[in-house]
Chain A
Amino acid sequence: MRRFRSTVLGASCALLMLLTACGSGGGGKSNNPGGGKVACTGGSGKSLTVGVSAAFPENILVAEMYAQVLENCGYSITKKLDIGSREISDPALVKGDIDIKPEYISSELAFLDPSAPTSGDPAVVAGRVRPLLAKKGIALLDYSPAADQNVFVVTQDTATKYHLQTMDDLAPVAGKLTLGGPPECPKRPFCLIGLKKTYGVTFGDFKALDIGGPETVQALDAGAIDVGLLFSTNPIIQAKHWVILQDDKHLQSADNIAPVVRQSVLDDTIRTQLDKVSQALTTTELTQLISRVAVQREDASAVATSFLQDHSLL
């Protein structure tokens, strides 16, 4: 799912680049080397290239955060934020074209081993993906509480009417409700199959729309569907005050964000600094930041700076 969306977003980002600067462009150097208010040494001019998993606003934003905290510590940072997909960024990391990128643990696991079992527990997923990366000379640092994953969403009105807070609450009323999601939903464990097996939820009807995209959002907004499958960091969820149904039984695989770093460049300063960024980042705040970049068209680099300053990381 995520891999597919990354490609789509990457493509639309590439298209946007024809019109405006998408993200902060690739290959540039930051303007403010070591100019933060928070003192940090340890970089001592070591050269690092920060890349992205795929060039879409969320990933570029997190990559900017990595680049800026490290630059503040005296590393000489080069940014490559225009890589289109994981199919390119993973080999680039192994080869050393880039040294660091933000990844999604479940998507990376599925990419490295499509047959690997998924889990809703990020610790389990990280435990599975870590040795696969280590074999390639890549270290997986601690994952952030921030995750971009599938969520079932209802409007405030629907939540009030049927007293919905968690996925469990759906079971008794689902027969009256219509679910909207991607066409593959009926055949996927994270969707209709898992809904029935894990939560005992069988919807009255299912409408095949798109992968967390405009159709599902429009249909939910108009009331043509009652429940929509969206991505957790979609800014529209907060903007419309929609309700994310809590996935207490972990039907969705945990796609938390974590830095992946080449073993040969990794040192204590990098680890400490990136851990601090990961700890500061939450899904809620990341969603707000993405909204500033994707909806209000603010510069990703500036948004990353303000986040880091707010959390005394810069």
Chain B
Amino acid sequence: MRFLTHAHNWQGDTGIAHRLVEHVGMSLLATVIGTLIALPVGLYIGHAKRFQFLAVSVGNLGRALPSFGVLALVFPFTLRYSVLQFGGLGFSATLVALVLLSIPPILTNTYVGIDGVDPDVIEAARGMGMSEAGVLRKVELPLAVPLIIVGIRTAAVAVVATATLAALVAWGGLGRFIVDGFATRDDSQIMAGAILVALLAIITELLFAGIERLVSPKTSTRVPFGTTRG
């Protein structure tokens, strides 16, 4: 713990504060991009009931894909093209690995959430004259939101934990302390890095639990006006 309580370890470009910002920034960007890719695809598959095998197989295979392997494959590739060299050495390779990591849970949960909406409810909505877009936006999406948020939460927590790999390809983030500590046999530095990553993952988890509570439909718990509890 001594590493964490020294003020000078928190300051500067290689300090904890800066590494924390890098880590959060990288994780946030990867999760947002992953959501932007997986959410529309999941909504379409769930609503149209087509290409379901895609959602299932991407979900299953994607989760088996080791991020470290992706990173090792993508890193030399990103070096070859100057257009991929934004954000500093190792940034784009890490981003690709993390986006790929975030897609499966979001895609699967979105698809399952939409697919699981009671067909009678959808029929009723159509019967009221709602358009397909209206059905998706006003009926299916609100009912599926809790599951979708769980998908994004799963992705975000995994991304926060895995963003440590960035340090293996010369980029920053909290993984720097783990990798550098390992190389110099500095156990307190490794511990500090590991603790910070774990804390960040827990905070992410709690944050999403809060969001989930806010956006969940409150239908079932509300007591209709004029009735009395007995």
A294 at the interface (CB under 8 A from B): no
Query: Could you tell me if B170 and A180 are in contact, using CB atoms closer than 8 angstroms?
Result: yes
In the complex the two chains form, what is the Cα distance from A182 to B179 in whole Å? Answer: 10
Interface residue from B90, B167, B169, B184 paired with A184 (Cβ < 8 Å): B184
- Enumerate chain A residues within 8 angstroms of B80, measured Cβ to Cβ: 222
Q: Which residues of A contact B180 (CB under 8 A)?
A: 183-184, 186, 208
Q: Nearest chain-B residue to A185 (Cβ)?
A: B183
In contact, B75 and A215 (Cβ under 8 angstroms): yes
Knowing A183-B183, A184-B183 are in contact, say whether A208-B170 is a contact too (CB < 8 A): yes
Other-chain contact of B176, A208, A209, A225 (Cβ < 8 Å): A208
Residues of chain A lying within 8 A (CB to CB) of residue B217 = none
Query: Is there an interface contact between A222 and B79, defined as CB atoms closer than 8 Å?
Result: yes
- Residue-wise, chain B 73-105 has the 8 Å CB interface mask toward A (1 for contact) of 001100110000100011000000000000000
Near B by CB (< 8 A), chain A positions 200-238 give 207-209, 214-215, 218-219, 221-222, 224-225
Residue A135 CB within 8 A of the other chain? no
* Residue A187, interface by CB 8 Å: yes
Tell me if B76 and A209 are in contact (CB < 8 A). Answer: no
B75 near A207 (CB under 8 angstroms)?
no
Q: Which of B75, B176, B182 contacts A218, CB < 8 Å?
A: B75
Shortest distance between the CB of A133 and any CB in chain B (Å): 26
Nearest CB on A from B86, distance (A): 12
In the complex, which residues of chain A have a beta carbon less than 8 angstroms from the beta carbon of B170? 180, 207-209, 215, 219
Bound CA–CA A207/B168 (angstroms): 10
What's the minimum C-beta distance from B155 to chain A, rounded to whole angstroms?
Answer: 27
List the B side residues contacting A182 at CB < 8 Å: 183
The answer to whether A219 and B79 touch (CB under 8 A), given A207-B89, A224-B89, is yes
Task: Report the bound CA distance from A183 to B176 in whole Å.
Answer: 9
A/B interface sample: 21 pairs, CB < 8 A: A180-B170, A183-B179, A183-B180, A183-B182, A183-B183, A184-B180, A184-B184, A186-B180, A187-B184, A208-B167, A208-B176, A208-B183, A215-B75, A215-B170, A218-B76, A219-B79, A219-B89, A219-B170, A221-B79, A222-B79, A224-B85
